[in-house]
Protein backbone atom coordinates (compact mmCIF):
# COMPACT_ATOMS: atom_id res chain seq x y z
CA UNK A 1 0.00 0.00 0.00
CA UNK A 2 1.46 3.34 -0.97
CA UNK A 3 1.06 6.36 1.27
CA UNK A 4 -1.57 8.85 0.05
CA UNK A 5 -0.71 12.48 0.69
CA UNK A 6 -3.68 14.27 2.25
CA UNK A 7 -4.99 17.59 0.94
CA UNK A 8 -3.48 19.29 4.02
CA UNK A 9 -0.09 17.75 3.30
CA UNK A 10 -0.20 18.93 -0.30
CA UNK A 11 -1.16 22.42 0.90
CA UNK A 12 1.69 22.43 3.42
CA UNK A 13 4.15 21.51 0.65
CA UNK A 14 2.77 24.36 -1.47
CA UNK A 15 2.75 26.91 1.36
CA UNK A 16 5.77 25.92 3.47
CA UNK A 17 7.90 23.91 1.04
CA UNK A 18 8.05 20.91 3.37
CA UNK A 19 5.73 18.50 5.17
CA UNK A 20 5.95 15.63 7.61
CA UNK A 21 4.53 12.27 6.49
CA UNK A 22 4.18 9.54 9.09
CA UNK A 23 4.54 5.77 8.72
CA UNK A 24 6.19 5.67 5.33
CA UNK A 25 7.86 2.46 6.54
CA UNK A 26 6.55 -0.17 8.95
CA UNK A 27 8.69 -1.00 12.03
CA UNK A 28 9.76 -4.27 10.32
CA UNK A 29 10.83 -2.40 7.20
CA UNK A 30 12.75 0.13 9.32
CA UNK A 31 14.61 -2.78 10.90
CA UNK A 32 15.58 -4.20 7.50
CA UNK A 33 16.74 -0.80 6.19
CA UNK A 34 18.72 -0.23 9.39
CA UNK A 35 20.52 -3.57 8.87
CA UNK A 36 21.34 -2.63 5.29
CA UNK A 37 22.54 0.80 6.47
CA UNK A 38 24.98 -0.87 8.85
CA UNK A 39 26.35 -2.95 5.98
CA UNK A 40 27.04 0.30 4.11
CA UNK A 41 28.64 1.96 7.14
CA UNK A 42 30.81 -1.01 8.07
CA UNK A 43 32.10 -1.34 4.52
CA UNK A 44 30.53 -4.79 4.03
CA UNK A 45 28.93 -3.12 1.00
CA UNK A 46 31.74 -1.30 -0.73
CA UNK A 47 31.07 2.31 -1.67
CA UNK A 48 34.44 3.68 -2.83
CA UNK A 49 34.22 7.33 -3.90
CA UNK A 50 30.48 7.41 -3.11
CA UNK A 51 31.30 7.76 0.61
CA UNK A 52 32.37 11.15 1.90
CA UNK A 53 32.23 13.67 4.73
CA UNK A 54 29.41 16.18 4.39
CA UNK A 55 30.98 17.89 7.41
CA UNK A 56 34.40 18.19 5.77
CA UNK A 57 34.06 21.98 5.96
CA UNK A 58 34.54 21.94 9.74
CA UNK A 59 37.87 23.38 10.74
CA UNK A 60 38.81 21.32 13.78
CA UNK A 61 42.00 19.59 14.67
CA UNK A 62 40.28 17.48 17.31
CA UNK A 63 40.70 13.73 17.22
CA UNK A 64 37.35 12.37 16.17
CA UNK A 65 35.93 9.14 17.40
CA UNK A 66 34.15 8.71 14.06
CA UNK A 67 35.28 8.16 10.49
CA UNK A 68 33.50 11.34 9.31
CA UNK A 69 31.90 14.43 10.88
CA UNK A 70 28.77 13.63 8.86
CA UNK A 71 28.83 10.41 6.86
CA UNK A 72 27.32 10.76 3.42
CA UNK A 73 26.99 7.81 1.06
CA UNK A 74 25.71 8.77 -2.35
CA UNK A 75 23.79 6.37 -4.56
CA UNK A 76 23.06 3.41 -2.25
CA UNK A 77 20.78 2.13 -5.02
CA UNK A 78 23.72 1.99 -7.43
CA UNK A 79 25.44 -0.34 -4.96
CA UNK A 80 22.29 -2.38 -4.22
CA UNK A 81 20.02 -2.07 -7.29
CA UNK A 82 17.13 -4.05 -5.76
CA UNK A 83 16.53 -0.98 -3.59
CA UNK A 84 14.65 0.52 -6.53
CA UNK A 85 11.87 -2.03 -6.01
CA UNK A 86 11.97 -1.83 -2.21
CA UNK A 87 9.35 0.06 -0.15
CA UNK A 88 11.19 3.35 0.37
CA UNK A 89 11.89 3.99 -3.31
CA UNK A 90 8.39 2.87 -4.28
CA UNK A 91 6.76 5.10 -1.61
CA UNK A 92 8.97 8.09 -2.39
CA UNK A 93 8.28 7.98 -6.11
CA UNK A 94 4.55 7.54 -5.47
CA UNK A 95 4.51 10.65 -3.24
CA UNK A 96 6.55 12.65 -5.77
CA UNK A 97 4.12 11.69 -8.53
CA UNK A 98 1.10 12.53 -6.40
CA UNK A 99 2.51 15.94 -5.59
CA UNK A 100 4.20 16.96 -8.84
CA UNK A 101 2.82 14.74 -11.60
CA UNK A 102 3.29 11.39 -13.32
CA UNK A 103 6.42 12.54 -15.14
CA UNK A 104 8.36 12.56 -11.85
CA UNK A 105 11.05 9.91 -11.69
CA UNK A 106 13.96 8.87 -9.49
CA UNK A 107 17.00 11.16 -9.71
CA UNK A 108 19.38 10.01 -6.95
CA UNK A 109 19.51 8.74 -3.39
CA UNK A 110 21.83 9.06 -0.42
CA UNK A 111 22.43 8.02 3.17
CA UNK A 112 23.34 10.71 5.71
CA UNK A 113 24.41 9.51 9.15
CA UNK A 114 25.29 11.62 12.18
CA UNK A 115 27.08 9.34 14.62
CA UNK A 116 26.74 10.01 18.38
CA UNK A 117 28.63 13.11 19.59
CA UNK A 118 29.89 14.09 16.15
CA UNK A 119 28.22 17.46 16.79
CA UNK A 120 28.43 18.78 13.24
CA UNK A 121 25.57 20.74 11.79
CA UNK A 122 24.55 20.50 8.16
CA UNK A 123 24.75 24.11 6.97
CA UNK A 124 21.61 26.04 5.99
CA UNK A 125 21.08 25.59 2.27
CA UNK A 126 18.59 25.14 -0.54
CA UNK A 127 19.15 22.01 -2.62
CA UNK A 128 18.79 24.06 -5.79
CA UNK A 129 22.15 25.63 -5.03
CA UNK A 130 23.72 22.25 -5.86
CA UNK A 131 21.94 21.94 -9.20
CA UNK A 132 22.76 22.99 -12.71
CA UNK A 133 20.28 25.52 -14.10
CA UNK A 134 17.08 23.64 -14.98
CA UNK A 135 14.05 25.04 -16.82
CA UNK A 136 11.69 22.90 -14.71
CA UNK A 137 12.51 23.06 -11.00
CA UNK A 138 9.93 20.60 -9.75
CA UNK A 139 11.62 18.20 -7.35
CA UNK A 140 10.77 16.30 -4.21
CA UNK A 141 13.16 15.04 -1.60
CA UNK A 142 12.00 12.37 0.83
CA UNK A 143 14.09 12.32 4.04
CA UNK A 144 13.18 9.21 6.03
CA UNK A 145 14.33 8.65 9.60
CA UNK A 146 15.57 5.17 10.51
CA UNK A 147 16.11 6.28 14.12
CA UNK A 148 14.13 8.75 16.15
CA UNK A 149 15.30 12.13 14.83
CA UNK A 150 15.33 14.77 17.58
CA UNK A 151 16.46 18.37 17.81
CA UNK A 152 19.55 17.25 19.73
CA UNK A 153 20.62 14.45 17.40
CA UNK A 154 20.06 16.43 14.21
CA UNK A 155 16.49 16.36 12.92
CA UNK A 156 15.75 18.58 9.95
CA UNK A 157 14.81 22.28 10.35
CA UNK A 158 13.05 24.35 7.68
CA UNK A 159 12.23 28.01 7.07
CA UNK A 160 8.54 27.91 6.10
CA UNK A 161 7.81 29.67 2.81
CA UNK A 162 11.45 30.37 1.90
CA UNK A 163 10.91 28.42 -1.35
CA UNK A 164 8.55 31.17 -2.53
CA UNK A 165 11.20 33.86 -2.23
CA UNK A 166 14.33 34.43 -4.34
CA UNK A 167 16.97 31.82 -3.69
CA UNK A 168 19.52 32.97 -1.12
CA UNK A 169 23.15 33.42 -2.09
CA UNK A 170 25.23 30.30 -1.38
CA UNK A 171 28.93 29.74 -0.94
CA UNK A 172 31.19 26.83 0.05
CA UNK A 173 30.88 26.22 3.78
CA UNK A 174 33.83 26.67 6.15
CA UNK A 175 37.18 25.61 4.85
CA UNK A 176 35.59 23.85 1.88
CA UNK A 177 34.92 20.17 1.41
CA UNK A 178 31.82 20.29 -0.74
CA UNK A 179 28.93 21.50 1.42
CA UNK A 180 27.25 24.77 0.48
CA UNK A 181 25.73 27.25 2.87
CA UNK A 182 23.68 30.42 2.95
CA UNK A 183 22.66 32.93 5.59
CA UNK A 184 19.77 31.74 7.81
CA UNK A 185 19.01 31.34 11.51
CA UNK A 186 17.10 28.88 13.67
CA UNK A 187 14.81 31.75 14.77
CA UNK A 188 13.40 31.80 11.22
CA UNK A 189 12.87 28.04 11.18
CA UNK A 190 11.03 25.13 12.75
CA UNK A 191 12.42 21.72 13.66
CA UNK A 192 10.76 18.55 12.34
CA UNK A 193 11.43 15.74 14.82
CA UNK A 194 10.44 12.33 13.49
CA UNK A 195 9.90 8.81 14.79
CA UNK A 196 11.64 6.00 12.89
CA UNK A 197 9.86 5.19 9.63
CA UNK A 198 8.41 8.68 9.21
CA UNK A 199 9.62 11.18 6.64
CA UNK A 200 9.85 14.86 5.89
CA UNK A 201 9.32 15.84 2.25
CA UNK A 202 10.73 19.03 0.78
CA UNK A 203 10.89 20.82 -2.54
CA UNK A 204 14.15 21.86 -4.15
CA UNK A 205 13.96 25.48 -3.04
CA UNK A 206 13.13 24.66 0.61
CA UNK A 207 15.62 26.23 3.01
CA UNK A 208 16.86 23.66 5.50
CA UNK A 209 19.55 22.63 7.96
CA UNK A 210 20.16 20.23 10.83
CA UNK A 211 22.04 20.58 14.11
CA UNK A 212 24.88 18.26 14.99
CA UNK A 213 24.30 15.10 17.00
CA UNK A 214 25.25 15.87 20.61
CA UNK A 215 23.61 12.73 22.00
CA UNK A 216 24.34 9.04 22.46
CA UNK A 217 21.66 8.19 19.92
CA UNK A 218 21.96 7.31 16.24
CA UNK A 219 20.59 9.58 13.50
CA UNK A 220 20.43 7.64 10.28
CA UNK A 221 18.50 9.10 7.36
CA UNK A 222 17.74 7.61 3.95
CA UNK A 223 17.06 10.29 1.36
CA UNK A 224 15.47 9.87 -2.08
CA UNK A 225 15.24 12.67 -4.64
CA UNK A 226 12.82 12.74 -7.56
CA UNK A 227 12.37 15.16 -10.45
CA UNK A 228 10.82 15.20 -13.94
CA UNK A 229 12.27 12.62 -16.32
CA UNK A 230 13.14 15.29 -18.90
CA UNK A 231 15.16 17.16 -16.24
CA UNK A 232 17.00 14.02 -15.14
CA UNK A 233 17.87 13.45 -18.81
CA UNK A 234 19.05 17.07 -19.11
CA UNK A 235 21.19 16.75 -15.98
CA UNK A 236 22.84 13.60 -17.27
CA UNK A 237 23.44 15.14 -20.71
CA UNK A 238 25.30 17.96 -18.94
CA UNK A 239 27.37 15.58 -16.86
CA UNK A 240 25.45 16.08 -13.58
CA UNK A 241 24.93 12.72 -11.93
CA UNK A 242 25.10 13.75 -8.25
CA UNK A 243 28.44 12.09 -7.69
CA UNK A 244 27.72 8.71 -9.27
CA UNK A 245 30.82 9.09 -11.35
CA UNK A 246 33.79 10.78 -9.77
CA UNK A 247 33.24 14.35 -10.87
CA UNK A 248 33.95 17.49 -8.92
CA UNK A 249 30.96 19.04 -7.22
CA UNK A 250 30.87 22.76 -7.94
CA UNK A 251 28.69 25.71 -7.00
CA UNK A 252 26.64 25.96 -10.18
CA UNK A 253 23.75 28.07 -9.02
CA UNK A 254 24.69 30.70 -6.48
CA UNK A 255 21.31 32.33 -6.00
CA UNK A 256 20.17 35.89 -6.00
CA UNK A 257 19.87 37.36 -2.55
Ligand X SMILES: O=C(O)CCC(=O)C(=O)O
- Which residues in this chain contact ligand X in the complex, by CB under 6 A? 112, 122, 127, 141, 143, 154, 208, 210, 221, 223
The interaxial angle of helices 27-42 and 87-100, nearest 10 deg, is: 110
Residue 100 CB, nearest approach to ligand X (Å): 17
Residue 8 CB, nearest approach to ligand X (Å): 23
Residue 181 CB, nearest approach to ligand X (Å): 11
d(CA 257, CA 16): 19
Residue 225 CB, nearest approach to ligand X (Å): 8
Residue 7 CB, nearest approach to ligand X (Å): 25
Three-state DSSP class for residue 206: coil
DSSP at 3: P
Dihedral sign of CA atoms 199, 201, 204, 208 in order: negative
Angle at CA 215, nearest 5°, toward 209 and 220?
55
Residues in Cβ contact with 228 at an 8 Å cutoff, skipping those fewer than 6 apart: 100, 101, 103, 104, 105, 136, 138
Residues paired with residue 156 on neighbouring β-strands, in sequence order: 192, 210
Look at phi and psi of residue 38 and say left if phi exceeds 0, alpha if psi is from -120 to 50, else beta.
alpha
Measured from the CB atom, the residue of 124 and 228 that comes closer to ligand X is: 124
Residue 49 CB, nearest approach to ligand X (Å): 20
Residues in Cβ contact with 187 at an 8 Å cutoff, skipping those fewer than 6 apart: none
Measured from the CB atom, the residue of 41 and 221 that comes closer to ligand X is: 221
Residue 154 CB, nearest approach to ligand X (Å): 6
d(CA 55, CA 46): 21
Measured from the CB atom, the residue of 3 and 129 that comes closer to ligand X is: 129
Measured from the CB atom, the residue of 7 and 204 that comes closer to ligand X is: 204
Q: Which helix (H) or strand (E) is 146 found in, with range?
A: none
Amino acid sequence: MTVELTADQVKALDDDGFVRVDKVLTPEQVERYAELYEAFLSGAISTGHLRGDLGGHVDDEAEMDAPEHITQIMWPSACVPVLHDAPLHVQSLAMAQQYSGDDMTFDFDMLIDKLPHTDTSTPWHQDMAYWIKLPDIRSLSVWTALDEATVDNGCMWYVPGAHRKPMRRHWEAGKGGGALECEAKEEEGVPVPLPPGSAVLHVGAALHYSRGNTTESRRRAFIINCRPKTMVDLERSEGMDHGLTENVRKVRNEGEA
